[in-house]
Structure 1
Amino acid sequence: MRLVVVSDSHGDRDILVQLQAHYQGQDVTFLHCGDSELRQDDAVFEQMAGVEGNMDWHDQFPDKVMLSIEQQRILMTHGHLYGVNFGLTNLLLAGQAEDANLIFYGHTHQLACATHEGILMLNPGSISQPRGQFQKIGGTYAVVDVSEQAYEVQYYNRDFEAVERLKFKFNR
């Protein structure tokens, strides 16, 4: 299973269209972790699940989405309602309560991935307004490959090029 995870595009619709075009014809699931600043009825969301971020003023997206894909349980949320700027404990507890094995979030504009008690927690960073240590990359998204043996995470820049130093493998 391959997941393309993006967040915090902040009105940059073109990058989402380009992202979908780049992976056209491939067996991927597109996920947006909020702050798209687009309406839920925008055509980009015909192929992409999304959640409400703190900058999405339309109140059309859900605050969180639970997805079951190929025996994987995915909790996706923006993160602001779980206080992710101050730690991931509340988000981890929410994921455990939902029996999730993958938790995707945004809000901080900083990429991050780690496993906690067998659960992959991932922030793809901001595709349009990055912050923090990897800000100079100019925006990131993540591709997550899930197999029975491992979670493999590769971060990409806005030109769809793999950022080699941002490749991670977590055994399951």
Structure 2
Amino acid sequence: MRVLVISDSHGEDRLLNRIVEQADCDHVIHCGDFCTDTDRLPDRSLTVVRGNCDWELVPEEQIWEGAGRRFFVTHGHRYQVNTSLMSIKYKGKEAEADIVCFGHSHFPLCEQSENMLFLNPGSITAPRGFPEPTYAVVELKRNGDIRVTYYNPNGKVVSRLGGSYSLA
């Protein structure tokens, strides 16, 4: 199963929809700050949360399950992700998540800690502290392994990000 994880599109719904088409995934997770009306979001299997810049009434947090994995999805601003992952780690544990997806910082991050994978796809419009816009594709393998690949909006692999992970 392939899951597109994207965040901080900040009103660029055409770019968002183009990326969703080119990524050709089974499910889409948007970690907030989509900054457009929800009817302009991709017409796909979609989990979306509200970011600090969104006006639409969508959930602040969501749980999504696919291929035997539990995803906790939030924007991240309520967990101070710009300074530390500690608060979001506690929330991930509480949610019994395998994968914690968040945005807000506009900085791509993928790291495993305490048998959870923490994934920030970066921003497709305005990266901060990283030289190019990014999004991530999570491949959930039948054997339980997880492969995360980052791309720029043109679909080119950003090879210095992502990797393969095994969670118990």
Q: TM-score, normalised by structure 2?
A: 0.92
Q: Which residue of 1 aligns with 2:127?
A: 130
Q: 1:152 aligns with which of 133, 147, 151?
A: 147
Q: Which residue of 2 aligns with 1:14?
A: 14
Q: Which residue of 2 aligns with 1:44?
A: 42
Give distance in 2, aligned partners of 1:14 and 1:89: 35
The answer (yes or no) to whether the contact 2:121–2:135 under 8 Å persists in 1 is yes
Per-residue deviation, residues 65-120 of structure 1 (Å, max 9, x unmatched): 10111221100000001111121111111111111101000000000010111100
1:38-117 to structure 2, matched below 5 A, reads 38-44=36-42, 46-58=44-56, 60-117=57-114
Give distance in 2, aligned partners of 1:44 and 1:111: 22
Query: How far 1:162 sits from its partner (Å)?
Result: 0.8
Give distance in 2, aligned partners of 1:167 and 1:72: 18
Q: 1:141 aligns with which of 135, 147, 164?
A: 135
Q: How many residues align?
A: 166
Q: Which residue of 1 aligns with 2:3?
A: 3
2:114 is matched by which residue type in structure 1?
Answer: E
More strand by share: 1
More helix by share: 1
Query: How far 1:149 sits from its partner (Å)?
Result: 4.1
The answer (yes or no) to whether the contact 2:134–2:152 under 8 Å persists in 1 is yes
2:150 is matched by which residue type in structure 1?
Answer: Y
Q: Secondary structure at the match of 2:137?
A: strand
Give distance in 1, aligned partners of 2:69 and 2:81: 23
Per-residue deviation, residues 130-169 of structure 1 (Å, max 9, x unmatched): 010x2x22x1000111223422111100101111222411
1:85 is matched by which residue type in structure 2?
Answer: N
Cα RMSD after superposing both structures = 1.5
- Pair 1:43–1:112, CA change in 2 (3 A): closer
The gaps in structure 2 that reach 5 residues or longer are none
